[in-house]
Chains A and B, each alone.
Chain A
Amino acid sequence: MTVLGAGIAMGFGAVGAGAGEGMTAAYAIKGMARQPKVHGELLRTMLLGQAVVESPSIFALMVALMMIFGGEKAATFAQAAAMLAAGMAVGFSAISSGIGTGLVSATACRSIARNPDVGGKVSGIMLLGQAVDTSPSIFGFIVALMLIIKPQEVDTLPRAAALLGAGIAMAVGTLGSGLSIGWIASRACKIAAYRPALTGILTRTMLLGGAIAETLGIFSFVVALLLMVSTT
């Protein structure tokens, strides 16, 4: 079950980052074809954005490696459930964060190609939006680490179900918020190219909208924590 959990973590964890980095590179290349003069700035923005897009899948890689080389054999039913849940939590939460952050950096590359004068402002909005958008995958990562590291002494059917439930809550609960925060931040990056004077209000609205969309991931995080600490 440890191996299955590691497989789920890394397999699904790579999906979002792959799609996100591909979108970013595609728009950077399109931008270079349109504005060859700013190819240096586009390359810089692309690499900066892709580095952030990469982080959810690095969380998944860390969890998968810890599970494979951690020496936990998943001897009991509850331990097996914890491993499966950890894989689901970190793997699925990386999908939406990866696609969301990729959308942000892709739009940032497009905006810089459209209006090279606002490059600095757009990169600022991009990094801020991506930072907020990474948090669903950080919640998944925290839950996965807690599930792996904590030894499961109680081995009953309700305990196993509660641990599996913590994984399901994080896996499903983060699917929407990562995508929607990415969408909000990508709109902010797009509009910043047309109206650079609005950068302040755009950043404020993006952070406000992102914070509210974030609460939905926090609900799942709270339920996952409650399920993990319940001692039955």
Chain B
Amino acid sequence: MADVTISGGDIMKSVAYLGAAISVGVAAVGAALGEGYISARAIEGMYRRPELQGLLTRTMLLGMAVTETTSIYGLVVALLLIFVAGK
């Protein structure tokens, strides 16, 4: 490493790779906790009103899909950083 000169482009790529990791990682934390909360509440709802399980499952899936989009933003940004900024 010592006799290798580091160019500005190398630094840009390195920062892009680290940024991609942070982007996808941190974005997943909040979405995962939110999805866990939704699903846990849906299960509790089935305890109170077992006859509503179809509606509860549908609403749970819809809510989780919307929550999931936030982490998909993180994934898209990470892929952009790897394949556009990192090349």
Contacts and interface: CB of A to CB of B under 8 A. Distances in A.
B13 A173 contact: no
Interface residues of B, number: 51
A209 B45 CA distance: 14
B30 A176 contact: yes
A68 interface: no
A77 B64 CA distance: 41
Interface string B1-18: 100101000110111011
A84 to B, nearest CB: 13
Interface in A194-232: 194-195, 197-198, 201-202, 205-206, 208-210, 212-213, 215-217, 219-220, 222-224, 226-227, 230, 232
Contacts of B13: 157-158, 161, 232
A220 B75 CA distance: 8
A176 B31 contact: yes
Contacts of A127: none
Given A173-B28, A227-B20, A209 B64 contact: yes
Contact of B43 (A162, A179, A202, A213): A202
A169 B68 contact: no
A224 B23 CA distance: 12
A48 interface: no
A175 interface: yes
Interface residues of A, number: 58
A155 interface: yes
B64 A212 contact: yes
A213 B86 contact: no
Contacts, number: 185
Interface string B42-61: 11101100100100110011
A83 interface: no
A114 interface: no
Looking at B17, B44, B87, the one whose CB has the most chain A CB atoms below 10 A away is: B17
A168 interface: yes
A217 B28 CA distance: 7
A148 B53 CA distance: 47
Contacts of A176: 28-33, 36
A219 B75 contact: yes
Given A176-B33, A179-B33, 8 more contacts: A156-B10, A166-B21, A175-B25, A179-B32, A194-B47, A208-B57, A219-B75, A224-B21
Closest 4 pairs (CB-CB, A-B): A180-B36, A176-B32, A209-B39, A172-B25
